[in-house]
């Protein structure tokens, strides 16, 4: 009975993360905790945790006096719409979600299992970067994660969800994955934060302008999907998974549709396309006439708007869309739109998703910047 009580205490301590005060602070900032995010992301009662009692090994800089079961990251597996996925969720209430040797080992274990079992990997990132008390050991942990990111590329879908202020190594790994989700006002991605920028270059810049969800959606193109809050973001992740196969050797799931396609929808295209070829029109309206109702899910909608890419369903089957957008720069191609389109096509090619291309393009944008 004593052993059982001890186990129960450890489990309760693991669930509390950095403690109730820090959990309350997380909530006051409009953010969910690491565990709350996992439970909302996965199907009810499907989560199986791995490594709940793992703790850091370092004894330097006072770390020998404080230990948190789980070491700042919740890892395990569960289901989304009945399909297996592997997940890790960084806990900002424990050392700011910083990555230690043990923290990295837990993530690597989940990545290895996802590869071995051919299932998508979803990372919920909320981390200040490497745990400086552990020095080079924590940095080596990042190297192990990056290596697995590259090995998994094109083999299993990799999804990163930025749910807090992530800096340094905490954003290098997400940038290597297939899709990135961000939350307005609470999630940030920096190579170096505003304070470092100010110190080195004397530039004054806010966290939002430097690495906020809108900045990465519109300027860098790193952010694929923007959500107003954690809950909407996690719902969006669940929805994206329905378009993707489990791995490179499988097909995407087919969604059963109640009725057959209405041919009258395609007739509507005649009313959308203008008689004068120099007049613009919204290609999204044409896409809606061809695909299953309400099935088009646009990717990078705020970046390089002269090209539209995303997923849809046709007769319930997952299809990738690549389309020029005449309402923006007449649909002309440039560097950003070419990179956006190419990356999306490469993903679809890796995961057996057929492509439907809508082409209406005057050519490539002239100019010295484009040529160089």
Helix axes 169-176, 136-152, angle to 10 degrees: 10
> In whole angstroms, what separates CA 94 from the centre of its chain?
22
Give the C-alpha separation, 129 to 54, whole Å: 19
Cα 189–66–40 angle (5° rounding)? 45
The whole model's pTM is what? 0.93
Tell me what pLDDT residue 12 has.
74
Q: What is the pLDDT of residue 52?
A: 82
Q: Can you state the angle between helices 34-41 and 230-241, rounded to 10 degrees?
A: 40
- pLDDT tens string, the chain, 372 residues long: the values are 577 777 777 777 767 766 788 889 889 988 999 999 999 999 999 999 998 877 666 666 666 676 767 888 999 999 999 999 999 999 998 878 889 888 999 999 999 999 999 999 999 999 988 887 777 888 899 999 999 999 999 999 999 999 999 988 889 999 999 999 999 999 999 988 898 899 999 999 998 999 999 999 999 999 999 999 999 999 999 999 999 999 999 999 998 876 566 778 888 999 999 999 889 999 999 999 999 999 999 999 999 999 999 999 999 999 999 999 999 999 999 999 999 999 999 999 999 999 999 999 999 999 999 998
3-state secondary structure at position 207: helix
d(CA 103, CA 177): 19
pLDDT of residue 19: 75
What pLDDT was estimated at residue 62? 61
Helix, strand, coil tally for the chain in percent (to 5) = 40, 20, 40
pLDDT of the residue at 63: 67
Inter-CA distances, 340 with 162, 242, 323, Å: 20, 22, 11
């Amino acid at each position: 009975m004593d052993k059982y009580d001890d186990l129960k205490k450890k489990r309760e301590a693991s669930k509390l993360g950095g403690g109730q005060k820090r959990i309350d602070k997380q909530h006051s900032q409009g953010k969910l905790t690491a565990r709350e995010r996992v439970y909302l992301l996965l199907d009810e009662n499907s989560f199986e945790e791995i490594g709940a009692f793992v703790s850091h090994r370092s004894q330097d800089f006072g770390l020998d006096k404080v230990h948190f079961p789980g070491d700042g990251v919740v890892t395990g597996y569960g289901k989304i719409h009945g399909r297996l996925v592997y997940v890790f969720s960084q806990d900002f209430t424990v050392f700011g979600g910083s990555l230690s040797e043990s923290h990295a080992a837990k993530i690597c274990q989940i990545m290895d299992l996802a590869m071995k079992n051919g299932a998508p990997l979803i990372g919920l990132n909320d981390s200040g970067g490497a745990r400086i008390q552990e020095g080079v050991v924590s940095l080596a942990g990042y190297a192990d994660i990056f290596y697995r990111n590259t090995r998994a590329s094109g083999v299993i879908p990799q999804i990163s969800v930025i749910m807090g202020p992530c800096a340094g190594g905490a954003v290098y790994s997400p940038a290597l994955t297939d899709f990135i989700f961000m939350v307005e006002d609470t999630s940030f991605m920096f190579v170096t934060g505003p304070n470092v920028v100010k110190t080195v270059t004397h530039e004054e810049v806010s966290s939002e302008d430097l690495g906020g969800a809108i900045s990465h959606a519109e300027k860098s193109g790193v952010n694929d999907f923007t959500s107003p809050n954690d809950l909407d973001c996690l719902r969006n992740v669940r929805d994206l998974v329905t378009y993707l196969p489990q791995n490179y050797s499988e097909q995407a799931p087919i969604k059963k549709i109640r009725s057959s396609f209405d041919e009258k929808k395609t007739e509507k295209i005649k009313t959308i396309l203008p008689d004068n070829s120099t007049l613009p029109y919204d290609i999204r309206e044409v896409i809606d006439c061809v695909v299953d109702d309400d099935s088009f899910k646009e990717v990078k909608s705020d970046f390089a708007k002269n090209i539209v890419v995303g997923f849809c369903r046709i007769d319930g089957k997952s299809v990738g869309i690549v389309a020029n957008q005449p309402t923006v720069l007449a649909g002309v191609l440039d560097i950003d739109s070419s990179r956006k389109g190419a990356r999306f096509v490469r993903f679809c090619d890796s995961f057996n998703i057929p492509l439907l291309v809508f082409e209406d393009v005057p050519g490539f944008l002239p100019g010295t910047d484009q040529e160089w």
